[in-house]
Amino acid sequence: MADRDLLQLDRVVTHIGAYHILHGVDLSVRRGRVTMLLGRNGAGKTTTLRSIMGLWKPRAGAIHFDNARIDALDTPDIARLGIAYVPETMGIFSQLTVQENMKLAATGGRFDPARLDDVFRFFPILKTKWNDRAGLMSGGQKQMLAVARAIVEERRLMIIDEPTKGLAPAVIDQLIACLLELKARDTTILLVEQNFHMARSVGDDVAVMDNGVVVHNGLMADLAADEALQTRLLGLNLGSHQ
């Protein structure tokens, strides 16, 4: 594992029940960079993220975080290493208030005022809805809350699964602005995304998955510029999808 890599997956194999999903995933996430994980539906992107978080245990292979092996750890211990996870389903506690959702993500339930100010600057609506039940918010507001929970503390790695899914363009722009600012602060992010506009806007590196393996590694800018490569890897080109 190179020192520049914060996270590395080596030949990770994961089954979900009887289904063999990951067939030997090799993936590196470099420190201070945004790594996009792209691929068609069913390629194994979400399974890869869940395997990193220990929510589905790999049957073979190794996962290293900051040079320490983590694939045998339980999910809470992985999270305590400073890894924030925003699942595709957002994982919002709908019966709790926005404040209570945020408290659960803050160490000891205490907020760092500066970080909280950042959250409210990125997503002002959360301040307005602070004491409202999260279940009453719109899908976009819930996604903002899901990302806000991830950034309410200093994290060493953020893992985000399709944050723009089903959201209005204005909300997507807000999320992009937030991620760009995090990127400017050298936050390490592993981001699964189907929205190419976002992928191109925030991605530094890219890995493309197909049939449970990573079939391409490179720079996001190179993939965005190569329509033939996009078509071969993803079955479409980025330029036609905004």
Partner 1 sequence: MSAGRIASTRLSGIDWPANLLLPILALAALPFMSFSTWLTLTVAGAAMGMMLFLMASGLTLIFGLMDVITFAHGAFISLGAYVATEVVGALPGMAASHSWVASLAVLAAALTAAILVTGVAGLIFEIVIIRRVYGSHLRQILITVGGLIVMQELLVTVWGANPIPVQKPAALQGSVEIAGAAIEIYRLVAVGLGLAVYAGLWLLLSRTRLGLTVRAGVENLEMVEALGFRVKRLFVGVFVAGTALAGVGGVMWGVYQGLVTPAIGPEMMILVFIILIMGGMGSVGGAFVAAILVGLITNYSGFLVPKLALGSNILLMVAVLLWRPRGLFPLVKS
CB of 35 vs partner 1, minimal distance in Å? 19
Residue whose CB is less far from partner 1, 136 or 180: 136
- Residues at the interface with partner 1 (CB under 8 A): 53, 55, 74-77, 79-80, 85, 87, 89, 91, 93-97, 100, 103-105, 108-109, 131-133, 135-136, 149
CB of 84 vs partner 1, minimal distance in Å? 9
Burial grade of 155 (CB within 10 A; 0-12, 13-18, 19 or more): buried
Helix (H, G, I), strand (E, B) or coil at 208: strand
CB of 207 vs partner 1, minimal distance in Å? 22
Residue whose CB is less far from partner 1, 135 or 218: 135
Residue whose CB is less far from partner 1, 32 or 135: 135
Residue whose CB is less far from partner 1, 104 or 236: 104
CB of 60 vs partner 1, minimal distance in Å? 23
CB of 218 vs partner 1, minimal distance in Å? 29
Residue whose CB is less far from partner 1, 50 or 183: 50
Q: Where are the alpha helices (DSSP H) in the chain?
A: 45-52, 75-79, 98-105, 113-122, 125-128, 139-151, 169-184, 196-202, 220-225, 227-234
Half-sphere exposure of 241 (CA within 13 A, CB side): 18
CB of 110 vs partner 1, minimal distance in Å? 10
**Dihedral over Cα of 228, 229, 233, 238: its sign:** negative
Residue whose CB is less far from partner 1, 94 or 240: 94
**Dihedral over Cα of 231, 236, 239, 242: its sign:** negative
CB of 117 vs partner 1, minimal distance in Å? 21
Rg (CA), the chain: 17
* Token pair for 153: 């503390």
Annotate 63-103 with DSSP letters as a single string: EEETTEE-TTS-HHHHHTTTEEEE-TTTT--TTSBHHHHHH
Residue whose CB is less far from partner 1, 54 or 212: 54
Q: Which of 151, 122, 146, 118 is nearest to 134 (CA)?
A: 146
